[in-house]
Amino acid sequence: MLDKKHLNLHYVATGVVTDFEMQERVSRHKDDRRQSSRSWQTWELPTAIDQVLFTGNDATLLDCLTTWVTNEMMAQEGMLPDDMIRYLINQLENLIANVGEVYIVSNDLGRDIVSSNRLIQNYLYILGSIHRYVVRRSDVAIEMVFGVPVFHKGGKA
Per the prediction, the chain carries an average pLDDT of: 90
Please report the pLDDT score of residue 130 as a whole number. 97
108 vs 122, which has greater pLDDT? 122
14-23, 29-38, 123-132: segment of lowest average pLDDT = 29-38
Pick from 13, 21, 8, 33: which is nearest to 100 by CA? 8
- Residue 42's CB is within 10 A of a number of other CB atoms, namely 14
Q: At residue 157, does pLDDT exceed 60?
A: no
Burial of 16 from C-beta contacts in 10 A (0-12 / 13-18 / 19+): middle
pTM for the model stands at 0.88
Q: How far apart are CA 10 and CA 121, in angstroms?
A: 33
Residue 148: what are its φ and ψ, rounded to 5°? -105, 125
CA distance linking residue 47 with residue 95, whole number of Å: 12
